[in-house]
Chains A and B, each alone.
Chain A
Amino acid sequence: MSETISDHQPDTKPIVSSAGTNRRLIITAVALSLALLVSFLFTRYSAYRTVQENFYGQALVPAKEAFDFHLMDQNGKPFRLSQLRGKAVLFCFGFTHCPNVCPTTLSDLAKVNRLLPEKDRQRVQILFVSVDPGRDQPDVIKKYVPYFDESFIGLTGTEAQIADAAKAYGAFYEIVRDSSQGPDNYSVNHSAFTYLITPSGTWKLIYNFDQLGDAKRMVHDIEQVLGE
């Protein structure tokens, strides 16, 4: 330490020319701004890392206010997302005639719900939004969604209501008709994301289909969101 000080002492002697002082000032300024820039970037990066590392789901950076969709619930009553303020909400889009992806999604979410501690489960609502309003009337969806877990709520709506909700969450769907089949016998291709909304109504996380199988990590995310 003392060596360092003595090394620098010659520089601080007042015999240095004014040009030298200027140069030193410039160097100091450059060094200072570099240090600032580095620390700024580091702070941003670590904030980003925190968001990424603490959550299993893909975090929206920055998180967005959740679009307040207006749909119809499985009892035929109007349903808005904002009714669920105070609860963490997990929801996905699908259709009841879906043989593979939707039953898997719903049974994975049922597992997540079951794994939640009782006190947390009361503060979580899982929803399934149909993108096939032609076939998925409230009575149909009521016989489908709660089958996987009694607490789940199935939603449907008019084509326009569903289109608005899907658009706001970046979901995609299209009806695929097979000319050899009857008019009511069609499939629907759709994106298979699950969205997590915080109790204060912020859309914070997205899960892709393959992530839902890890119920433990899903529960960990939900508990973090409930604790915020």
Chain B
Amino acid sequence: MRILFLLLSLYLPIEAVLSQSVPVKIERAWIQAVPPVSDATAAYMKITNLSSKPLKLTDASSPIATRIEPMITTRKEQAGKEVVGMQSVSELIIPAGNSLELKPGGDHLMVMGLLAHPNEGDSVKLTVRFAPGDQKLDLEIPVFKEEPK
């Protein structure tokens, strides 16, 4: 039984994390591998708010980057064409009992000022902060070159 738990605990960080400190479930968390010449990348995950109150994702940090910001991807019509842009936001809201999907081409955590360039197969420490209060969630997320499907 103990071995089973041990195996489960080894398995959980990749598939899903049920946090002790913050009432969330984290699924499919990953960070995009980029070449050393690149100074920015993005982290993605599905966050489910398990509480009965809305949560706000306010900030994140990692030893591999100088700054991480929650971002939304904007899609605007400009001269009849769809233009994709990004916008930094102070928070991303996760309604009670609902999920926030951070995904390529959508909302994401922009990882800026890269200090290291982890490769596929590595994992990266990431701390995500939530409001109300300063609820911290420490994660260790895998690095992928392509979106895992």
Contacts and interface: CB of A to CB of B under 8 A. Distances in A.
A210 interface: yes
- Interface size, B (range): 20 to 34
Contacts of B39: 97
A148 B74 CA distance: 25
Given A107-B146, A143-B36, A147-B34, A100 B42 contact: yes
A76 to B, nearest CB: 16
A99 B41 CA distance: 4
Interface in B31-64: 32, 34-42
B146 A172 contact: no
Contacts of A172: 78-79, 81, 83
Contact of B83 (A107, A110, A191): A191
Q: What is the predominant secondary structure among interface residues of chain B facing chain A?
A: strand
Interface stretch (B9-17, B19-27, B91-99, B105-113): B105-113
Contacts of B147: 104, 107-108, 213
A12 B88 CA distance: 81
A81 interface: no
Contacts of A208: 82
A189 B111 CA distance: 17
A176 interface: yes
B145 to A, nearest CB: 6
Nearest to B74: A189
Interface in B78-128: 78-79, 81-86, 104-105, 108, 110-112
Contact of A111 (B85, B104, B112, B146): B146
Contacts of A103: 32, 34, 38, 41-42, 104
B73 A144 contact: no
A27 B40 CA distance: 73
A121 interface: no
Which of B39, B74, B105 has the largest number of chain A CB atoms within 10 A? B105
A148 B145 contact: yes
A104 B83 contact: no
Contacts of B145: 107, 110, 148
A190 B98 CA distance: 31
A62 B22 CA distance: 56
A192 B42 CA distance: 17
Contacts of A96: 37-38
Nearest to B39: A97
Contacts of B112: 99
A209 interface: yes
B104 A100 contact: yes
A19 B121 CA distance: 89
Given A107-B145, A190-B83, A191-B84, A101 B73 contact: yes
Top 8 closest pairs, chain A to chain B, by CB: A189-B85, A147-B35, A143-B37, A104-B104, A99-B40, A107-B146, A192-B84, A100-B42
